[in-house]
Amino acid sequence: MTNRSGTVAIMGRPNVGKSTLLNRILGQKLVITCHKAQTTRHAVLGIKTRPEGQMVFVDTPGIHKRGDSALNRYLNRAARNAVVDVDLALFVVEALHWTEEDDQALATLAEAGVPVIAVVNKVDTVKDKTRLLPFLQALGARHGFLDIIPVSATSGTQIEALELAVLAVLPEVENAYPADQITDRSERFFAAEMLREQLMQRYGEELPYRTTVQIERFEDDGARYRIHALIWVERQGQKAIIIGARGEALKAAATQARLEMQKLFDRPVHLEVWVKVKKSWSSDEAALSQLGYGDQ
């Protein structure tokens, strides 16, 4: 049997379900998700190996026009860099919704000259299915897509069809990674992401975008992982909000993050968390680089 293998970038504007789609394909929660835009800040590899071959997916930050901070520029840059030298891109859009940011994301793919499959996500939220066909036809007129596949990343509808369509496009080569490997990122990286996910989910609209997480220590004592994490904010007032009255808010976020880490790492975790202030870190290129947002 012919083996196919290659790299597939998952692209689109914020909040169309790119990370949820990758988690669904992998069959487990690897990348963090949240209803807030720009939850994904780093390109993350997710590797799916099947009998027919291996798909190396790259989950990317959403292409967006919101804000012009150093962090915003980094996110767009990371997304554009992710489509360089890939074999295929999945352009994820939300069923029945099209915005200027969708235009921007599609223009990025067109400029890269990469083959594209359009993935119309969240079809489970469309009650009147007759509205889908005109949307799919209009989408098809925007670009020369190899295919247009309606899916629901939440329910799993059409995910198998999508995987087969992806494999059919990939080159006939041997797998690049061992069959049991699902990512190239370290456990230290995912520890930071699991804690940041709690910040994205628990706090108001703006605060999560002024926070980031840095793992200061990650040790394996044989029985458990001992993790020391720093949450960086930009102002003292933000620090007070994160900690909450009598430290209850921070304790709740840390407890849930620890449980998520234990699930992913499949071992006990001892987590300690501190909150510190680094003024205007999201607008400072040097600070961003120190906090792990350097260009890759």
pLDDT of residue 295: 56
pLDDT of residue 111: 94
Q: Which residues contact 221 (CB under 8 A, 6 or more apart)?
A: none
User: What stretch of H or E contains 45?
Assistant: strand 44-50
Residue 183 CA to residue 45 CA, distance in Å, equals 5
Helix, strand, coil shares of the chain as percentages rounded to 5? 40, 20, 40
pLDDT of residue 191: 97
Three-state SS at 118: strand
β-strand partners of 118: 91, 148
Tell me the whole-structure pTM to 2 decimals: 0.89
pLDDT of residue 94: 98
167, exposed or middle or buried, with CB in 10 Å at 0-12, 13-18, 19+?
buried
Q: Choose among 169, 172, 165, 168: nearest CA to 4.
A: 172
pLDDT of residue 67: 65
Residue 150 CA to residue 92 CA, distance in Å, equals 10
**pLDDT, one tens digit for every residue, the chain (296 residues):** 799 999 999 999 999 999 999 999 999 999 988 888 778 888 889 999 999 999 999 998 888 776 667 887 877 888 888 888 899 999 999 999 999 999 999 999 999 999 999 999 999 999 999 999 999 999 999 999 999 999 999 999 999 999 999 999 999 999 999 999 999 999 999 999 999 999 999 987 778 888 999 999 999 999 999 999 999 999 999 999 999 999 999 999 999 999 999 999 999 999 999 999 999 998 988 888 888 886 54
Could you tell me the domains of the chain? Answer: 4-169 (3.40.50.300), 187-290 (3.30.300.20)
Q: Are 109 and 35 in contact (CB under 8 A)?
A: no
Q: Are 251 and 295 in contact (CB under 8 A)?
A: no
